[in-house]
């Protein structure tokens, strides 16, 4: 008796049952009050089936926006702007190299036009000196000389690196920014050469998210050279023709009211930053004088050293803190400042939180622009879930009728394996935090058909073995073993197809590919090992020694 109990508890089926109960506890929670709450909110009477489905919850399973509702965005990366920004950096580096090497052949005019850095000189000899210097000292630039003008462009290899890196960096930055919203299931994926797809399931304020996405967050520190009441007042000082190494930045506004009214709202600064926000390692919301909201930031060691040198050399002058070409604040430098600072002139705590978030996650190399926006309502998502579950149940019912009619009791075991298959799919998706989408439900329905195909291959092989007069136990083992090669061959090729779809397909295709690949793994586990454990358990622990196929 004891040996029989030990044999039962040590059987393979018990292992699969333990996995089942642990997995069910991990997956599901039941809330019988939820259907009543839904009826009150929507004013609609739910059917009995809908009440059951709505009371069963899977809190760990993420849903895509087509099921949960939300916003689907396609964002374009303006790579050309990234190239121009890189040329601006190279222009500033060139000035520093000229000064370091004591080269007097300085251009009379510098401008960036059509992704080219154009340097104009007053004589040909100076142009030749600059041409030879750039060619020798800056390998990332390709230069040409014509008359008194040197034209510099990025080398093809460097330009390609920026094109690829701009999109990859934008994906990483957006992922970091959006993770700060605390919303699960947000997806940020590259699509094509210069597009990014952003899925925002269940986000209540998509406009706020969009503003965070598009904020380039280029933070520059520049010494203010002059302040005026308007941009035109500054232009008048240069007879309307601003030098190429200067730029005018306007003060920040809200509801057309300037934050810096007393000091003026137009600032003359250098076209090139004295220090950038790339050195920021942390930023957070703080409150200053009169409980006004601010954003405090912390610089890394090299940034702190440069910041201290910049402020120490310009005591008594204004330090402009410029974000995306807008002057947030321009305080007077009273002493050398170390590795931290504050940004004031911010409207609301929520705005300060968003600013701290984008500064902390890093600036975008290239600006972003919205190219497409699609919103999915929560009710439409719930309807999709309902119809998807119904389609799975109908498929299972039809297969149940077919299996029982054709295979009798073994057909019933095959249906049990199918339910176990679906359970494993949901368990894998929850554990690996993959989002279930509407195409994913289609992949689950396809997996049901493939799982039945595996059972049919096994059963037909067993029937062939039984036809030769083999005992049932041997026919069972040979049937599973013989069909395993065919099952693996067909499923591996399908798995590879799913991997290719996941690698190169869009978000909707990826949702289908994920459940397809997960479903194939679940099919092998449930349709082969779990199904075989059922037969072994019955043959080892009951008087039943054969089944009719």
- CATH 3.30.1360.200 for domain 215-345: yes
**Angstrom distance (rounded) from CA 163 to CA 327:** 29
pLDDT (tens digit, 9 = 90+) per residue, 111-142? 888 888 888 888 888 888 888 888 888 888 89
By 3-state DSSP, what share of the chain in percent is helix, strand and coil, each rounded to 5? 55, 20, 25
How many CB atoms within 10 Å of residue 319?
21
- Give the pLDDT of residue 361: 67
Mapping DSSP to helix (H, G, I), strand (E, B) and coil, where does residue 105 land? coil
Class of the CATH-defined domain 70-214: alpha beta
- Give the pLDDT of residue 273: 81
Class of the CATH-defined domain 2-23+378-541: mainly alpha
Domain assignments of the chain as residue spans, ordered by start: 2-23+378-541, 70-214, 215-345
Q: Using 50 as the pLDDT threshold, list the residues of the chain that sit under it.
A: 255-263
The residue assigned the tokens 């739910």 is 46
- Give the pLDDT of residue 259: 42
- Give the pLDDT of residue 261: 39
Helix axes 438-467, 378-407, angle to 10 degrees: 10
The residue assigned the tokens 């500064």 is 359
Q: How would you list the strands of the sheet with 149-154, edge to edge?
A: 109-113, 116-120, 149-154, 141-146
């Amino acid at each position: 008796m004891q040996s029989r109990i030990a044999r039962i508890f040590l059987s393979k089926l018990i292992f699969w049952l333990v996995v089942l109960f642990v997995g069910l506890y991990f997956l599901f929670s039941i809330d019988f009050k939820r259907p009543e709450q839904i009826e009150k909110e929507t004013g609609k009477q739910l059917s009995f089936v809908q009440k059951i489905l709505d009371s069963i919850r899977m809190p760990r399973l993420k849903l895509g926006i087509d099921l949960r509702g939300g916003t689907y965005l396609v964002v374009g990366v303006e790579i050309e702007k990234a190239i121009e920004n890189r040329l601006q950096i190279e222009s500033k580096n060139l000035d520093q190299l000229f000064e370091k090497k004591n080269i007097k052949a300085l251009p009379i005019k510098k401008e960036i036009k059509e992704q080219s850095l154009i340097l104009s000189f007053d004589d040909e000899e100076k142009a030749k000196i600059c041409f030879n210097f750039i060619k020798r000292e800056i390998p990332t630039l390709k230069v040409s000389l014509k008359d008194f003008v040197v034209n510099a462009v990025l080398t093809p290899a460097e330009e390609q690196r920026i094109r690829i890196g701009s999109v990859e960096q934008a994906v990483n930055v957006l992922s970091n920014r959006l993770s700060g919203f605390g919303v699960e299931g947000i997806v940020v994926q590259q699509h094509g050469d210069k597009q990014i797809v952003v899925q925002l399931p269940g986000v209540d304020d998509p406009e706020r998210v969009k503003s965070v996405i598009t904020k380039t967050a280029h933070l520059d520190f520049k010494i203010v050279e002059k302040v005026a009441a308007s941009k035109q007042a500054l232009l008048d000082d240069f007879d309307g023709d601003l030098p190429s190494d200067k730029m005018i930045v306007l003060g920040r506004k809200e509801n057309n009211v300037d934050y810096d009214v007393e000091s003026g709202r137009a600032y003359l600064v250098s076209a090139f930053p004295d220090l950038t926000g790339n050195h920021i390692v942390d930023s957070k919301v703080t409150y200053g004088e009169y409980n006004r909201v601010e954003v405090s930031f912390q610089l890394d060691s090299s940034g702190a050293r440069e910041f201290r040198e910049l402020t120490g050399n310009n005591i008594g002058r204004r330090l402009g803190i410029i974000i995306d070409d807008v002057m947030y604040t321009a305080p007077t430098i009273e002493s050398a400042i170390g590795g931290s600072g504050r940004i004031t002139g911010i409207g609301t705590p929520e705005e300060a939180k968003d600013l701290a978030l984008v500064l902390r996650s890093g600036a975008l190399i290239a600006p972003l622009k919205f190219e497409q926006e699609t919103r999915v309502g929560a009710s439409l998502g719930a309807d999709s879930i309902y119809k998807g579950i119904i389609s799975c149940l109908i498929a299972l019912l039809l297969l149940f009728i077919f299996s029982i009619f054709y295979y009798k009791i073994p057909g019933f075991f095959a249906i049990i394996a199918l339910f176990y298959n679906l359970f494993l799919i949901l368990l894998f998706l929850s554990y690996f935090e993959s989002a279930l989408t509407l195409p994913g439900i289609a992949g689950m329905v396809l997996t049901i058909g493939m799982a039945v195909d595996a059972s049919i291959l096994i059963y037909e092989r067993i029937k062939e073995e039984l036809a030769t007069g083999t005992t049932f136990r041997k026919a069972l083992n040979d049937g599973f073993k013989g069909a395993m090669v065919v099952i693996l061959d067909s499923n591996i090729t399908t798995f590879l197809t799913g991997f290719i779809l996941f690698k190169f397909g869009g978000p909707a295709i990826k949702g289908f590919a994920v459940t397809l690949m997960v479903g194939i793994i679940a099919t092998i586990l449930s349709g082969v090992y779990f199904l075989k454990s059922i037969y072994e358990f019955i043959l080892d622990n009951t008087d039943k020694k054969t089944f009719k196929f």
